[in-house]
Amino acid sequence: MIEESGNKRKTMAEKRQLFIEMRAQNFDVIRLSTYRTACKLRFVQKRCNLHLVDIWNMIEAFRDNGLNTLDHTTEISVSRLETVISSIYYQLNKRLPSTHQISVEQSISLLLNFMIAAYDSEGRGKLTVFSVKAMLATMCGGKMLDKLRYVFSQMSDSNGLMIFSKFDQFLKEVLKLPTAVFEGPSFGYTEHSVRTCFPQQKKIMLNTFLDTMMADPPPQCLVWLPLMHRLAHVENVFHPVECSYCRCESMMGFRYRCQQCHNYQLCQNCFWRGHANGPHSNQHQMKEHSSWKSPAKKLSHAISKSLGCVPTREPPHPVFPEQPEKPLDLANIVPPRPLTNVNDTMVSHMSSGAPTPTKRKQWSDRSHSTLLFQTKQQRCGETEKRGKMKSVKAETIHMWTQATDCLSFCEMRRIEFG
């Protein structure tokens, strides 16, 4: 009895470990819910080592475990989910160098318990295939564009049109992530979530979907998703600027500049906590910066822009074909049989009924002579091609020799007069 109660306490501690560590980071002091949610989910992503796995590795894991053949509504057990997660991390360790190996068992335990807490709050011991795909595709590393393309492929029909019921189901699943980190009041699912994303469009293709999801600003219910990706990009960005509140000589991460106060800039910690001093107020509009440009670089950019030398801004994503590419059906295509000799030619034509039996010898001679002529012509063409290649090769060698001699002469003159 004592041993069983001890094991239960250990299991409960493992289930709560990730949330205990997250609370220790004191993310709740962040004033804005968007940044607070993005920081919490970024912490979960890094703590579970999901930032080391991109969407292509996830798709490979889904296929290896047969999830691509299952219907989205199919339920899988927790033991099978653990098998999927185990394959993800074991394959990750194979790709990582020996000096950067992760603790596979710990990563499996953290991610499994987080997914159960987020998607199996009733304790049924089962999760749907779509829940697993939506969660792992959202929380893994990689480009947001690639993630959205994969998500759209799971919600569209054979004509490339988005199925609104599946998009609604996707929102239900993905918005369980903010709820799992105690941000449900700000980003929980509502019945109007789909309408806020696509209020007017009736037919949504891939490019329209990407335009909406990657817009600035994005849909309100998913505004934390692109911010989580931006957090990953700026974690190691250095700004040699003093914070106007805490007087820190430099900043890491985001930098915020007031649009009303002259040269008033805040580091991300001060801005997130709502710190302000002097004439500055939290009601002032702030601009987020994810990189640093020196004054000289800003001046040169302004001059180039005034002269029209700055290229136009690229679109946020490439334009993809509206119709999905269909694989070629090669089942009914029979490759031509190679004609090795006259007998093969004769037999193939006889089976097709082209020559009559009385003209077999005459047709055979004609076919043989034609085949010899084609072979001779092909050999002449190959010989001519080889001759041209030899002449080009000789000319290239001659030019290279001249260039080498010239360089050697210049080097000798430099040494002589240097």
Q: How many residues does the chain have?
A: 418
Q: Note whether 68 and 188 are same-domain residues.
A: yes
* Of 187-191, 196-200, 205-209, 384-388, the least confident: 384-388
Q: Note whether 209 and 153 are same-domain residues.
A: yes
Q: Note whether 135 and 147 are same-domain residues.
A: yes
Q: What is the pLDDT of residues 318-327, one digit of tens each?
A: 777 776 655 5
Q: What is the pLDDT of residues 83-136, one digit of tens each?
A: 999 999 999 999 999 999 999 999 999 999 999 999 998 889 999 999 999 999
pTM, two decimal places: 0.72
- 11/148: higher pLDDT: 148
Confidence of residue 392 (pLDDT cuts 50, 70, 90): low
- Find, among 112, 126, 81, the residue nearest to 14 by Cα: 112
Q: What is the pLDDT of residues 219-274, one digit of tens each?
A: 999 999 999 999 999 999 999 999 999 999 999 999 999 999 999 999 999 999 99
Structure tokens at 371: 């085949």
Structure tokens at 377: 């012509």
| Domain CATH code at residue 150 | 1.10.238.10
Q: Note whether 133 and 276 are same-domain residues.
A: no
Q: What is the mean pLDDT of the chain?
A: 81
Q: Is residue 302 part of a domain?
A: no
Q: Note whether 187 and 102 are same-domain residues.
A: yes
Q: Is residue 374 part of a domain?
A: no
- 351/153: higher pLDDT: 153
- 279 vs 333: CA distance, rounded Å: 77
Among candidate residues 257, 278, 294, the one where a domain is terminated: 294
pLDDT at 347: 45
My answer on whether omega of the bond before 219 falls inside 30° of 0, hence cis, is no
Q: Note whether 128 and 261 are same-domain residues.
A: no
Q: Note whether 52 and 123 are same-domain residues.
A: yes
Q: Note whether 198 and 260 are same-domain residues.
A: no
Q: Note whether 115 and 263 are same-domain residues.
A: no
Q: Is residue 306 part of a domain?
A: no
Q: Note whether 178 and 245 are same-domain residues.
A: no
Q: Is residue 308 part of a domain?
A: no
How many CB atoms within 10 Å of residue 174? 21
Q: Which domain covers residue 127, as residue numbers?
A: 2-234
Res. 344: pLDDT tops 80 = no
Q: Is residue 154 part of a domain?
A: yes
- 42 vs 36: CA distance, rounded Å: 10
Strands 126-128, 286-289: pairing kind: unpaired
Per the structure, the count of domains in the chain is 2
- Tell me the percentage of the chain whose pLDDT exceeds 70: 69
**Cβ contact 280:261 at 8 Å:** yes
Which parts of 122-266 fold into alpha helices (H)?
129-139, 144-153, 164-174, 176-180, 184-187, 193-197, 206-213, 224-234
Among candidate residues 187, 207, 234, the one where a domain is terminated: 234
Q: Is residue 349 part of a domain?
A: no
How many CB atoms within 10 Å of residue 316? 13
pLDDT at 97: 95
| Domain CATH code at residue 279 | 3.30.60.90
Q: Is residue 408 part of a domain?
A: no
Dihedral sign for Cα atoms in the order 267, 273, 279, 281: positive
